[in-house]
């Protein structure tokens, strides 16, 4: 039975964490500009949304691959559909509320395919994607801190090899917004999302005879704060918050470039020198390397995600880290983290920067990432039994109608 004391203590911790978060946003805003301070708050809201909706890419893909349950995948299609409807007109105009905006548009080449495939394997071994690693680590999952550490290491190694991978064959970047216009690009994208959603329905019904029933939403007694949220609410929140990121930062939501930056700065503290690596010689990356880490948009948002997930976890009364981690699980976290970091650098991003924000930007490399990343997940699911005795229970699972 939950007592009043059990309820009050997490709320007190949440209030303290919330106050620290707002103080951090204020300090960042005063030091580096109001927009950056607001982006820390957007990151925190992303963390709350990810945690309360349990909106993971890894678990949704694993459940579909192993059980043909497609509710999580369909939620991703809803998220992407809302995103393209919001993004494409702004990207076509080049401005949003007076702010110049650009999308994540990258070439399709060997590096994207290989990188996304490696990232997909890492998702299943590491136990999360880029966003999943951050919000579960923030929510108190100690194992995901191991994944995050080696995610950073893998990202650094990826920057060391970046120049060689970029020398391999690749097609020029293609944007649906530029090719078909905003309206045409939206139509093409919605048709693709609908096709994927229909295929998941057909495959799920063929395997199970019916569709999985989503848990009923109940927002009485402060459920907005304590969760859990419906999966579709998480999809809507992520799309809207990515659009808020576009409006404030001038570009979409990304995660893993900060991991490369953190790794590079740590390596230089230890006496290393990354300045001669081609990745760090581009103007933007070179400037980030020599500036304060707190001036980096992606870093600030990542910190916000972690803090937001911590607030959500304490409000839900689920923040209870444990260091009792099976050895096989540790090994999977190490290998998975390295593959996640390395793959993200080669593929111009992760499930957020390349898949979500890439497709929301109209870039064909986002679709290539989806195909190669899903293939990597299929292999990763097969490799999981080598490290785990049994698969963890996914919060996205529910009853069958």
Q: How far apart are CA 300 and CA 255, in angstroms?
A: 10
pLDDT score at 320: 77
Q: What is the mean pLDDT of residues 116-138?
A: 95
**Lowest-confidence region among 45-49, 206-210, 313-317:** 313-317
pLDDT score at 390: 62
Classified as helix, coil or strand, 220 is coil
72, 231 Cβ separation under 8 angstroms? yes
- Matching residue, tokens 């996205």: 396
pLDDT score at 317: 83
Residues 6+ positions from 183 with CB-CB distance below 8 Å? 88
Classified as helix, coil or strand, 170 is strand
Q: How far apart are CA 218 and CA 230, in angstroms?
A: 9
Q: How far apart are CA 166 and CA 293, in angstroms?
A: 26
Q: How far apart are CA 227 and CA 10, in angstroms?
A: 14
Query: Is a pLDDT exceeding 90 seen at residue 401?
Result: no
Tokens for 223? 């459920």
Q: How far apart are CA 148 and CA 211, in angstroms?
A: 34
The CA distances from residue 361 to 45, 292, 366, in Å, are 22, 28, 9
27, 336 Cβ separation under 8 angstroms? no
170-171 and 108-109 strand pairing: antiparallel
92, 181 Cβ separation under 8 angstroms? yes
Q: What is the mean pLDDT of residues 334-341?
A: 98
Q: How far apart are CA 275 and CA 256, in angstroms?
A: 19
- Tell me what percent of the residues of the chain surpass a pLDDT of 70: 93
Query: Is a pLDDT exceeding 90 seen at residue 266?
Result: yes
**Lowest-confidence region among 117-121, 133-137, 216-220, 358-362:** 216-220
Q: How far apart are CA 300 and CA 294, in angstroms?
A: 6
158, 344 Cβ separation under 8 angstroms? yes
Query: Is a pLDDT exceeding 90 seen at residue 11?
Result: no
* Position 220 confidence tier, pLDDT thresholds 50, 70, 90: low
Q: How far apart are CA 176 and CA 260, in angstroms?
A: 29
Q: What is the mean pLDDT of residues 334-363?
A: 98
pLDDT score at 225: 80
Tokens for 356? 């979500």
Tokens for 394? 């996914």
Cα–Cα–Cα angle for 124, 125, 127, rounded to 5 degrees: 65
207, 67 Cβ separation under 8 angstroms? yes
* Position 7 confidence tier, pLDDT thresholds 50, 70, 90: very low
For residue 228, say if its preceding peptide bond is cis, omega within 30 degrees of 0: yes
pLDDT score at 60: 96
Q: What is the mean pLDDT of residues 123-148?
A: 94
Please write the tens of the pLDDT for every residue from 155-175.
Answer: 999 999 999 999 999 999 999
pLDDT score at 9: 60
Query: Is a pLDDT exceeding 90 seen at residue 17?
Result: no
pLDDT score at 394: 44
Query: Is a pLDDT exceeding 50 seen at residue 295?
Result: yes
pLDDT score at 370: 98
Query: Is a pLDDT exceeding 70 seen at residue 273?
Result: yes
Query: Is a pLDDT exceeding 50 seen at residue 3?
Result: no
């Amino acid at each position: 039975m939950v007592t009043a004391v059990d309820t009050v203590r997490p709320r007190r911790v949440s209030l303290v964490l919330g106050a620290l978060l707002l103080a951090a946003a204020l300090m960042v805003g005063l030091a580096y500009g109001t927009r950056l301070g607001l982006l820390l708050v957007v990151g925190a809201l992303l963390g709350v949304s990810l945690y309360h909706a349990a909106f993971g890419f890894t678990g949704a893909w694993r459940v579909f691959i192993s059980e043909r349950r497609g509710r999580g995948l369909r939620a991703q299609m809803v998220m992407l559909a809302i995103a393209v409807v919001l993004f494409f007109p702004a990207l076509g105009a080049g401005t949003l509320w007076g702010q110049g905006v650009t999308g994540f548009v990258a070439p399709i080449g060997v590096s994207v395919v290989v990188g996304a495939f490696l990232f997909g394997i890492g998702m299943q071994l590491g136990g999360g994607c880029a966003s999943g690693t951050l919000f579960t680590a923030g929510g108190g999952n100690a194992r995901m801190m191991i994944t995050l550490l080696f995610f950073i290491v893998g990202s650094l190694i990826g920057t060391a090899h970046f120049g060689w991978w970029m020398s391999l064959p690749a097609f020029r970047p293609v944007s649906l917004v530029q090719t078909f216009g905003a309206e045409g690009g939206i139509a093409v994208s919605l048709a693709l999302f609908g096709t994927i959603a229909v295929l998941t329905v057909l495959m799920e019904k063929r395997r199970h005879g019916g569709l999985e029933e989503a848990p009923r939403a109940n927002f009485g007694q402060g459920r907005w704060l304590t969760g859990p949220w419906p999966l579709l609410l998480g999809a809507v929140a992520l799309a809207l918050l990515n659009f808020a990121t576009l409006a404030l930062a001038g570009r979409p939501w990304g995660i893993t470039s900060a991991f490369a930056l953190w790794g590079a700065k740590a390596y230089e503290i230890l006496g290393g020198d990354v300045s001669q690596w081609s990745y760090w010689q581009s103007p933007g990356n070179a400037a980030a390397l020599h500036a304060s880490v707190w001036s980096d948009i992606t870093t600030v948002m990542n910190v916000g995600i972690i803090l937001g997930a911590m607030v959500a976890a304490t409000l839900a009364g689920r923040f209870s880290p444990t260091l009792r981690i099976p050895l096989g699980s540790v090994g999977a976290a190490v290998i998975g983290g390295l593959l996640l970091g390395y793959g993200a650098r080669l593929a111009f991003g992760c499930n957020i920067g390349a898949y979500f924000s890439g497709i929301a930007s109209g870039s064909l490399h986002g679709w290539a990432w989806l195909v190669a990343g899903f293939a990597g997940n299929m292999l990763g699911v097969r490799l999981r039994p080598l490290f785990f005795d049994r698969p963890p229970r996914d919060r996205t699972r529910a009853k069958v109608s």
